[in-house]
Each structure stands twice: as structure tokens, then as C-alpha cells.
Structure 1
């Protein structure tokens, strides 16, 4: 029973790993490993096996049962091990730990990522039960078994997600089970109770420290500290190649074919949120790509689920076109396994990439949640969301003036974005700068966009208009990003195979609202471009902005505030040293409060005894003060464990102790009670002096624990700790 409680503590300690897996196979691996570990431990204890025999048995069990428990996808008929499964099982002992924190959760049964759970459960329960059964309980070293669930708990939290899953509750639960395990040790009931209380105090202090120091919603774990194997550079941008698609050799080249898109639905190559003043790229937190375990839950609040089969033709390279926020992706055809291993995904950007690059003939089936499209006329009712995107490092000249003039008189952020986009589409004209087209420079750097705002008429294509629209939305307060991809033409349906060429490449923007990301098309309708208008010297040209680029190494995160808030005084940053000191003081303060609350019953007992002594010592009648000295001796004897019956006289009880001072106090008390002679002040002083001597002699040969137990004993009040610890399991 005692060992099984510790085994249960190990199982409970693995609960923080559930958000990483979110698959029933997690419980199968935990339960299977725990049963195997407990069975091997019981056989080892009963047969008095050596350490080597116990270890070899555990390895054998791992190899026999490990494939169906930890690599179920490689098991024949779901329960028979295979050669590939055994290889994954062996390599997983070393490699799966790091892979687990580099794959986007939930990982489910992806490859051999259940191996860490199986090993923690199997070895944790095995060690806990073996140590609990085979180490003599009365030895101090027996307590080392309680460290096993503490270690597995720490590993589970360290491997777990950065956002806490009731880790504090699980921590307290583990310590409660450890307290019960301590309570079953072969010691007295009272001491077992105090052991349990001590562990509960420790768990409460630890839980308080976790809550106060580490924010529950954002913890530092291995997953947040490890360098991801695939990180995009700031200069990686498919938008910089846009003009080559629509005017170059790829203009009439088949890039890819798609089945499953209806008219107007989109296939995005990449979502770009980081503007450096030279180009748009995937930046900030979105630049860290993680491996995808096949499928993941979508987080968007709105949108339509779109499933498509994509076959690559001329659109080779790292980018993987998707139908929206990714739900699942499965490569098909030759090389599918290698492509699966090389695929990485950024959830913040909704963008996928393959490290080895896509080649002609690669195909895959993907399901995603497409951002709903919103017309410019409907943007006015939207409110900014709370997505975090990097702030633009540079704003093009003329953008501020264009936004101010076009949105004059508008109050809400949505209305201002609507007015600015309306002006952009009404004043802008489309030209790719190709043969027989109006001259239009490529690029979307700050100089090119400044020229766009200054020109009359404004001439550009989706590259410039999407970049300008995204920067305007960001300036007004909406988190925004540029998306490059394709839009299914009119007449398409889910059963139609659509082939896209370079000429059909386009770009649009997505803005984050209180309902999630929405797509907006900021591109003007194609129409004849009027002749360039001469500048009217009487009109005020767009002034250049006086705002210099922020002098910093890393882009600031967008705080989603309206431009009027930019001039407001920002709060002073807190000194990190002061912040650390305050955090420590906070933990110490709350810990002392916890200790004070939990220690209050014992403090109450000590205070009650002091008040009782003071009342006896200050009695008005000297006779009562002498008798009070004896009462103090009798209470001390009871609290130190001396058995005394109510029929015993004072001197009989004093003789049991064999302490001369106790006999002296007994004689003085009898004289005070039965003698007709008066009691002098010297008798009172002598009685109390001898009484204090009795207490000192009783404590002389005791340990600190025994002295403490005597101080908080309630036997002198006619009570017993056995009443308060009756709920504890009794030793058989």
C-alpha cells in the first residue's frame, strides 16, 4: 500500500505533459509504463534481485512493450513490435527528448515522441517502488524514495508547454501523496502526523513561490529556451520576387495546380509582418518555425475550413502554399517521408516551409482555416485585435500625410483604415512596369513607397499597394501583415483542378481584429491610367515625416495603440534588480504568511501554556501559588510522557520521576494545602525555582524534536494528538 502511493505520485507528476500530447495514447503510455515498472519492482523486491537483474528486466520489458506503447504507428496490428519500431524506440532514448521540445504541440503519436513519457513512467515507478520496498523504513536513507516523484515532476514541467496546465495543483497533489507515504512509515502516530504536516507546509510554500514568481501564462521551460532548428532570416521575403512572377519568365509558367478551392478562396505562400524599410519578411516571434506533428488544432475564432490537394510545378523553393491557418498537412507521393521530416510551421505567421525545398512533382493535402475576407466598405466597423507583430523599423515619407488627409474627420480606428484604403484604391492605378505598360518601379522599400505616395497619379501593383496598406493599418493601430499568394478565379469550385501561373500571383493584407485575422484586398481595380498631372505650386505637397527610425537593434512589438497615443509619456521601465528584489520579498512574505497560518495551532498551544503558568504564578494567595508550582510540575511530567493516574498522590508521582526537585515541590504543595502554618514568600520562590529545575532536568537528555513535541503536547490539557491524527493509516 505504501509503495503504491509513491507510484501514484509518480503517475500524477506526469500530468503537466498532457498539453504537449493531447492524445489518448499519452494515458496508455503512462499507464503501461507504470504497470510494467510496478510489476518489475514487486518481483525484484520479492525475489531479492540484484540491481543488474532488475535493470536487465526493465530493458527487456521496454523493448518488448515499448513499440505498441510509445511508437504505436510502427506496431503490427497495433500491438506487435516491428523492426522500424524497435529502431525508433532505441534512438528515441537519446533523440526524442530534444525532438519533443522542437515539435509544435500537440504532438499526439508523432514518430517516437511518446518515448520520454514511457521512460519517465516506467523508470519512475520502478525506482519509487523498489526504494520504498527494499530500504528499511526506520533508516533515514529510506526518505530518498520520496525524491523520485519530485524529479519526474520537475522533468515533466521542464518538458511541458510554456503555458501552465494546472502545474501548481499537480505539484500540491504530488506533495500530498508524498506526505501520505511519509505518514505510513514505522514511527509513532503523532510523529507521522507532524511529518505529513511538514510536507504540506513545504508544498504550500513551493506552490506559492511558483504562483508569485513565475507567471502562469508564460513560463520559461526547455521549449522556450532551446534554439529552433529552422529560423528565417530578416532578408527572406517572397514579396521581393513578386515582379519576376508577373512580368518575367514565370509569367506564363505553370507554378502549381490545386483541387479544392472555390471561387474567391485563397492559397497563401507566406504572411509577412516585419517591415525593415527595405522589404517585408516573416519576423518577430513568427520567425521561429517548429516541426508539425501531422495535425494541430486551429486557434482562429472565425473562418471557413478549406481542404485542398496541391501539386507543385514551377513554384519550387522553401515556401509551402497553404489554405489558411494550418490544421493538417500530409505529403503524398515519392519523398513524402523526407518532406514531412523537413516541414516546419510558424503558427503566429500561418506560414509553412520545407528546409530541403519543394521540387516539381511534390504534392500534399492540406486543411486550413481561411481568414474571412472583408470588403473595404466593411472595415469601418472593425476594432483592433491584440496580435503581436513587429513595429515597422522605417515609415515611408508621405504615409503619415496621406493617412491624415484621407481619414480627416474620422474617429475610430476602423473608420480611419477604411478611409485610407478607400483613398488608396481610388487614387491608385495598376501597372507592373512591363512592355507597353506605364513605367512602374518594382520593390516595396521605403523609397519606393514614398515615391508612390508622392506621384500623381499613383502607379504600382499588388507589391506596392499591399505593403502601403499594411503600413497604414499598422500606423492607425491594427496589427497587420502582407500575404502573397493566389486567389481562385470565377467559375472555380471544390471539384475543379485549377492551375496557377505567375501572372496570377497577387498580394493582399490581413489585419487583426477582435474576432481574429481578416483578409482585405487593397489593390485598385485595373483601369486606364491617366497622364501624369503637373504639380500645382499652390497646393501643399505631402511633407516628409520628421520621425527618425527608432535607434534599436531589435524591432519593437506593436502595442496596437492609435497614433495619437504615440506622444503620450511612456511608463518608466522597472529596474530589473529592483524587480528581482521585490519578487524575492514577495515570495518571502507570502511564505512567512503560509508558515504562520499553518503553525498557528502550535503557537496557540505554547501561548496557552504560558498564560496558564502566568495565572498560577500570579495568584493572590501564596498557598495557591505554591500549589500552582506543583501543577506546573505535573503538567510538565504529562507532556514529557510520564504516565500518571488520578489516584496518585503528589509524592507518589514525584517518586516515579526520581527527581529530588519534584519531591521538594510535592512536599511544599502538600504543606501549603494541609498545614495550618502560613506560607511565606520564600516558600513560593523556592517552589517555583524547584519547578523550573524539574522542567530543565526533563529536557536535559532529549533531542530537539522531543523537546519540541513536549512543548506542543496537549496531554496536560486532558487531550491527545491521537484524536487529531486518527485519520492517518495505522501500522499493521
Structure 2
């Protein structure tokens, strides 16, 4: 056994240097798993930089003879001092000097960046602080691995299991790289084979032969090691290639965390724009909302797509209702996903400048493939952008305001003629539910569909009936007949039962979509703007009067087909058969009608102009984050393993208690007792009967172990008695076994009880057998002199 490190012995041995180099290479292989998660190369600089900073801090603390706490403080200082250059050069002074913004990025990325990497659509490019994730991961592994390599391992007996503990850090990086990556792995076979081969070779060479042999014996041992290493490397390559080809899952079945995590954006926190439809047609009728360049004749701007109805309003479904519906918004960075159901026919490019428009919903067209904001706030806007590929809808969580400008490129859905869809069924989509559809609306849908049999014929019949028998009225003062705002169930009943139909796009699109839903067809409502231009290329001023709405129905293999049920005729006929004036009327006080004041019908959208809550963490000083991280990391090291061990033990006990038969449950009670005693630090003899194990434990435990022989005898009777064991008897033996465990626990020290919480008996037995085999192997070799320090 070598001597501990003293202040005079600060030189790092050659073997420790090799250990550090090997661990660094393995960590680099592990961090390469992040390659598919990031877009540019900044992540590799951050990952390698974190590994360098952490390793250098650990080695520097060794030379400075610092203790554990001061070593961690030095590492944290180095983390923030050099982190700006490696992980946040875009906001650092001259690209490498720390600034308040770069320190904030490091702190925010360390805590929140993990969630953002998972919720951003890969490959990730924004926000700036997401590159702090590989930086902090490799920094932490570098600190721990290098500290163990230069301080802990050289002063202890060199065994395979001790050296194997140093592999946990690089292995954790490898697993994290896989979980935070995408379904498309980054050279998975090559990385896996290289990692495994290098780790096994290092473990083999790391084991020191503690014997003194002659020169010829040394040459023989060296030759055997070289031959064994060559065989191991070749075997690793062969097994890795063929085993990987047979056992590796297909990319679609690859488990990655980003596929299991729901995006954090919740659309239910934002008002449905359709509720403010009459605000555009009245209050903002002549107001320029935004200016569009590149719009072509016949094209409509999409503002929001709504696919859930509760009897009051059409809205977007939250992520807990539908993971792929109108509420499934996600961070996209610079990469917009393709629409899951669309037939693309051409593309369009628009430039939109916001005038008198303030809302979260972004006007667009088709299905966006690229969107870039202009101006000094472009990066902040890109970080606040969320997109739904299923609906082609985008929102800006920070809100659009006057002066904002953006350019977009969009793929356009192909237009289909009715004849082309006669034999096409509707798509089998599970849209969010609609509720409180009035019965009269369902009956009217069947009436208007008539004798049509195919989905497209039924829908066209309803569309034509609404267009030709209804009239258009926005409820303005100059309209011939007033019409109420809204699209709740009562307004839908009023629209359908009134002759003729009177309403605007809000009511007709809502009624059509509900009628389509009554046939179980996947239908949704779209709100947007239709400037009705005649020429392409120029600037178009979009006014509030240009607001419109239509319905869409999904067809299998085709995409979402639009329907425009709103009539164009505004010349509403007056009632030709007025009631006689002499007809007596009851003297009943009538409630005031809302139609008397059309302006009261406007449903406004309230936008919170207060300071955004998302920016609160930017106001927290950097030193606070340093303190939080300093406390969080030790807490994670203490409590995360404890939680994992608790879950393993709980699952183990539950499986044993709930065995299929009573005799197996009784045997499980004894096995659980033995495992608990092992975790308390008692030695469990191998290859002994229950009676023999109980006798041996009594000699170790003392008086508290007196019940063990009786429990062993009763367990044998239940297991080997040959009779059916009632559940009550197995419960009794479990109660006795756990009582014996608690009695033994009370006799040990607090330190042993605490250590037992981190132990799992199977792992302890495995390590014990590994140590025994290593000791037996070393005894067979000629002994060498005392090892060097």
C-alpha cells in the first residue's frame, strides 16, 4: 500500500497522467452524442472547453494542496471565468472576456438549458445559453474524474473495480449524449466500439502486477499483455459490428428524451383570436394592421387555426388534450418541421411589417419553412417563436408590436377540384374533442347534405346551401339587418333557425365546421385575412376589414381542403308579411337586446402589457446563481443516488411480496431479510442453508438476531411443506422478517444506517466477488516489493 499524498509529494505520476488522458478521450467520445442535437459547431467548443477547464481545475487544486471544498470552489471560479469564451462567446467581451450577459447565460443554461435542449426542435441553434449544457456536463465530469485519477486512485490498491469507478463519469456523458440526441445517432457503432475497446484495454493495463519477476518474466508478461490486448480489441470490433447490426434498434425505435417531453408553451394562456372577430370589422375596420410584400392574388393570410369547441368558443387544444393538434407548439430555432399531412404545390415568400397590430399570433401563409426577424431584437424574437407544423400556425410569446418585421418562406397546399376527391376518404385524425354541439345543427347538417354519399359531396352540398341561402352581415350600423357577434351554441342555433341565415365569416365557418364534426369528419376553423388583391409583387396594406374565416377538412393522403361557406350577398330581404298592428300583446317587461348597440358586440382581446414574467431570472445577480449551483450540485450527488436506490429497493420488495403463490412470497420474505442485513454491512455466508445463514448472522448481530433461526425454520416449512399457503401466512412471515430487520438496524451505528440507504445487496455482492477474484488472481502471481507511492 502506498503512502498518502503529503505536501511534499505533489508530482503526478506517469500512470496518473495516462489515466487522465484516457478519461479525457472517453469523455470526448461520450460528448460527441450531442452532435445531432445542435446545429452549429459551438457545442463542440463548449464541450471540449468544459472538459479542459474541469480537468485543469482538478490538477491545479492538486498542486495547490487544496481540500475537497476549496477544490470545488476553484473549479466553480474557473467555470465562470473561462465559460464565456467556450460556451457564450457571442455575448462575451471580445469573444472571451466575461460580461454580465455571458455570466447570466452560463447560469441560466446550467439550470434551464437542459429543458430547452429537449423542447427545442433539433438541431438546436437558439437560445444562446443552450451551449452551456455540454459545457457544464463535461466540466463536472472533468473535475470529478481528474480528481479521482490524481488523488484517490494512486494511494489505493490498484484493482479493476476501483479503476472502473473512474469510468462512471465518461459513461454518464455517453448516456446523456444519447438521451439528449435525436433518433438519428451520430456514428453510434463506431463510437460505441471505440469507447468499449479503449475502456477495456485501459482496465486491463491499469491492473498492476504486484510481483517481482526477472527480466525474462517481464518480457513474457508484456508479450502476453500485448497479445491479450490485441485479441480484446479485435473481439470488441467483431462483436460490436455484428452485435450492433443484430441488436441495435431502428432509428424510429430509438429512445431519446426529446420525444417524451412535451413543449413548455401552453396556448390556453393566450386568448382565441376568433373571439375578437367583430373588433376587426368595427373598431379596426379602416386601420392598417400590417403591410405585406409578395402576396399573390387569391392568397389568404393565416392567423390562427382552431380545432376544439366547448359550446362557447373555438380555440386551440392544450398539450395535455392533444399532443399533435392545434395546441402542440414547440421551439423551432431555424429549422421548421414539415407538415404531417399536406400535399405541397409550390412555395411563397412574404415580408411582413407590423403597423397597428398587437397580438401573439403571427400572420403567415401555408406551412412555414423559414422565418427570420429583422432588427436589433431579431435574436430575442427568434427565441420567443413557437410553431405548430400540423396547423401552419406560429406565435410569438413576447408578442408582436408596431415596427416588428419578418420575412418568411412557406410551402403551399395544393388546391384540389371536387371531382378529384370523390373517391378519397377523410383522414383518420384524432382531433381534440368538440362538445355542446346543438342538436338542431346536427339535424340541419343531414338536411343540407341531402342524398350525397361521399364526404366531399356532403361537405360541398352544405357549403353551397349556406352560400346560396344565407346573407352576409357584420352587424354594422349600415347593414340592412343586424346580426349578433359570437359563435357560441346559442348563436349557432340562432343562425340555423333564423330564415334566412344571417351572419358573417365567424358564424358561417363555425357552423360549417360543427356540421362536418357531426359526421365525424376532422374539421377545424381558420381565422386570417383576405386583402383580395388583383396584382402580385407590390405592397399590400392589410386592414381590419380584411379579416375573414373559413373551415378546413382533412382528406387522406391529400391534406387540409378549405371550404368557404360564407355568402357574398348582403342585400337581405325584409319581412314581407308583417304581423297586424291590432294584435294584442302581453304587458311583459322585455330584457334589453344586445343588437340595439352594435358596438357592444365587439369581443376585445386583452393583452397584458406588463413586463413579461419570462425575464425575471435575467434580473437575478450572477453571484446568486453561483451560490445556487454550488449548493445544487452537491445536493444532486447526495439525493439522486439515494432516490434511485430507494426505487430499486421498493420495486424489489413489491415483486417479492406480490409473488404468484404463497410459498414463493414466503421465500421472498427471507431473501428480503438477507438483502437488508447485507446492506446493513453484515457478511452473508455463501452456499449455506437458511438455518446456516441464520446461525452465522446471530453470531454477528448478537441478541437482536435471536429470532432469525425461528424465521428460517418457518420459512423452510412454508416453502418445502408441500401445501397451499394462504396469503395470511405469507403476510405473517413478512411481518416477522421485517421486524428482525428493524431490530438489527437499531443496533448498528448511524453511519451504517446511512450507508445502508445507498447500498443494494446485489451490487455489493458483485463487487465483493470481483474483489475476491482479483485477490485470488494476484496471489497466484509472484509477489513484488512495496509499490511506489
The two structures share one fold, judged by TM-score above 0.5: yes
For residues 57 and 334 of structure 1, do their structure 2 counterparts lie closer, same or farther at Cα, with a shift above 3 Å needed? closer
What is the aligned partner in structure 1 of residue 327 from structure 2? 287
- Which whole-Å CA distance do the structure 1 matches of 2:546 and 2:133 have between them? 47
Matches within 5 A, 1:144-163: 144-156=165-177, 159-160=180-181
Larger CA deviation: 427-436 vs 83-92: 83-92
Relative distance call for 1:23 and 1:502 in structure 2 (3 A) is: same
Deviation at 1:296? 3.2
Which residue does the alignment assign to 2:676? Answer: none
Q: What pairs up with 1:516-535 in 2 under 5 angstroms?
A: 517-527=559-569, 528-529=571-572
Q: Give the direction of change, closer, same or farther, for the CA distance of 1:481–1:73 in structure 2 (3 Å limit).
A: farther
User: Which sits farther off after the overlay, 184-193 or 62-71?
Assistant: 184-193
2:502 is aligned to 459
Residue in structure 2 matching 1:353, options 377, 395, 398: 395
Q: What is the deviation of 1:249?
A: 1.9
Structure 2 residue corresponding to 1:239, chosen from 274, 282, 285: 274
Could you tell me which residue of structure 2 aligns to residue 296 of structure 1? Answer: 336
1:591-630 → structure 2 map (5 Å cutoff): none
Does residue 1:182 correspond to 2:203, yes or no? yes
The one of 424, 433, 458 equivalent to 2:475 is 433
Cα distance, 1:145 vs. partner? 0.9
Go from structure 1 to structure 2 and tell me whether the alpha carbon gap of 1:450 and 1:15 turns closer, same or farther (over 3 Å shift): farther
> Following the alignment from structure 2 to structure 1, what is the Cα–Cα distance between the partners of residues 496 and 279?
23
Q: Is the alpha carbon distance of 1:298 and 1:705 closer, same or farther for their aligned partners in structure 2, counting shifts above 3 Å?
A: closer
CA 110–514 in structure 1, closer or farther in 2 if over 3 Å, else same: farther
Which residue of structure 1 aligns with residue 289 of structure 2?
Answer: 255
**Superposition TM-score, scaled by structure 2 size:** 0.56
Measured after TM superposition, the shift of residue 259 of structure 1 is 1.7
Whether 2:534 is the aligned partner of 1:491: answer yes
Alignment partners' CA distance in 2, 1:234 and 1:276:
16
Structure 1 residues 76 and 385, CA, compared in 2 at 3 Å: closer, same or farther?
farther
Checking the alignment, whether the CA contact within 8 Å between 2:469 and 2:501 is kept in structure 1 is: yes
From 255, 262, 265, the equivalent of 2:299 is 265
CA contact (8 A) 2:302 2:528 kept: yes
Between the aligned partners of 1:46 and 1:63, the Cα distance in structure 2 is 20
The equivalent residue for 1:124 is 141
Structure 2 residue 123 is matched with structure 1 residue 83: no
Change (3 A) 1:90 1:241: closer
The CA deviation string for residues 132-170 of structure 1, in whole angstroms up to 9 with x for no partner, is: 566244364222112113322444455456x68589979
Q: Deviations over 1:436-469 (max 9, x none)?
A: 3334332222232233334443332211222223
* 2:619 match: none
Does the 8 Å CA contact 1:22/1:107 hold for their aligned counterparts?
Answer: yes
Q: Which moved more, 1:172-181 or 1:425-434?
A: 172-181
Q: How many residues align?
A: 538
CA contact (8 A) 1:344 1:354 kept: yes
Are 2:159 and 1:138 aligned?
A: yes
Residue 108 of structure 1, CA deviation: 1.6
Structure 1 regions of 5+ residues with no counterpart?
535-576, 586-702, 710-732
1:403-552 counterparts in 2 under 5 A?
Answer: 403-407=445-449, 410-435=452-477, 436-494=479-537, 496-515=538-557, 517-527=559-569, 528-529=571-572
- TM-superposed CA distance for 1:272, in Å, is 1.0
- Alpha carbon RMSD of aligned pairs, Å? 5.0
Larger radius of gyration: 1
Structure 1 counterpart of 2:700: none
Contact in 2 for aligned 1:164/1:216 (Cα 8 Å): no
- Give the SS at the match of 2:459: helix
Q: Secondary structure of the equivalent of 1:500?
A: strand
Candidates 354, 362, 369, aligned match of 2:411: 369
C-alpha displacement of 1:237: 1.3
Is the Cα contact below 8 Å between 2:467 and 2:568 reproduced in 1? no
User: Where do 5+ consecutive residues of structure 2 fail to align?
Assistant: 1-17, 209-223, 578-650, 660-767, 775-789
**TM-score in terms of structure 1 length:** 0.60
CA gap 1:706/1:347 in 2 versus in 1, 3 angstroms: closer
1:186 deviates by 1.8
Counterpart residue number, 1:641: none
* 1:71–1:88 CA contact under 8 A, matched in 2: no
- How far 1:403 moved relative to its partner? 3.9
Find the counterpart in structure 1 of residue 433 from structure 2.
391
Report the Cα offset of residue 417 of structure 1.
3.3
Task: Tell me, in whole angstroms, the C-alpha distance in 1 between the residues paired with 2:558 and 2:32.
Answer: 31
Q: Mark the CA change 1:57 to 1:332 in structure 2 (over 3 Å): closer, same or farther.
A: same
- On the 8 A contact 1:33/1:122 being kept in 2, the answer is yes
Deviates more, 1:300-309 or 1:315-324: 300-309
Secondary structure of 1:483's counterpart equals strand
Rate the CA distance shift 1:148–1:218 in 2: closer, same or farther, 3 A: closer
Question: 1:258, CA displacement in angstroms?
Answer: 1.5
Q: Distance in 2 between matches of 1:374 and 1:196?
A: 60
Secondary structure of 1:243's counterpart equals: helix
Following superposition of structure 1 onto structure 2, how do residues 59-78 of structure 1 map, counting pairs within 5 Å? 66-67=83-84, 69-74=86-91
With over 3 angstroms needed to count, the CA separation of the structure-2 counterparts of 1:356 and 1:490, relative to structure 1, is closer
Residues 293, 539 of structure 2: 8 Å contact kept: yes
Aligned-pair CA distance for 1:256: 1.7
Aligned to 2:742: none
Q: CA deviation at 1:413?
A: 3.6
* 2-structure distance, mates of 1:383, 1:325: 23
CA distance in 2, matches of 1:49, 1:422: 86
- Deviation of 1:208 (Å): 12
C-alpha deviation, 1:105, in angstroms: 3.8
Residues 482, 8 of structure 1: alpha-carbon distance in 2 compared, 3 angstrom cutoff = farther
Q: Is the 8 A contact 2:554 2:561 kept in 1?
A: no
What residue is the counterpart of 1:729 in the other structure? none
Displacement of 1:309: 2.5
How far off its partner does 1:38 sit? Answer: 6.7
Change (3 A) 1:227 1:322: closer
Alpha carbons 2:528, 2:548 under 8 Å: kept: yes
Partner of 2:219: none
